[in-house]
Amino acid sequence: MSDEVTRWLTRATLPLTGLAAGAPTTDLQPLKDVLDGVRVVGLGEATHGTREFFRLKHRLLEFLVTELGFSVLAMEASASAGPAVDFDGLVHIAESSASRPFSL
């Protein structure tokens, strides 16, 4: 790696304290300034199915929802996985709705 790239990485990156969802978000707080006014955030990965990428995305999504108020999530999925994910989401919505009485 060139010295120029090393210097840029040293200036532009921040260390993460971990990948576990539910962990304190102190290390993610600088994202509040970076994402100020942003309505859409794209999260990709270098490979599909790598556990560490999914753990980090889980943590980032949790931060986006709880700290920045994001309320819509769109995920890339295969045609065969999409209906299963949709069904699981609908079941969770129905279960949470069933625990509250319907009111106008």
**Residue 47, in any domain of the structure:** yes
**Residue 53, in any domain of the structure:** yes
| Res 83 pLDDT > 60 | yes
- Range from 26-30, 43-47, 75-79 carrying the lowest mean pLDDT: 75-79
Beta-carbon contacts of 16 under 8 Å, excluding residues fewer than 6 positions away, are 27, 28, 56
**Residue 70, in any domain of the structure:** yes
Q: What is residue 76's DSSP assignment?
A: -
Q: Which pair of structure tokens corresponds to residue 72?
A: 């819509």
| Res 88 pLDDT > 90 | no
**Residue 1, in any domain of the structure:** no
**Residue 7, in any domain of the structure:** no
Beta-carbon contacts of 49 under 8 Å, excluding residues fewer than 6 positions away, are none
What's the total number of domains in the chain? 1
What domain range includes position 67? 19-98
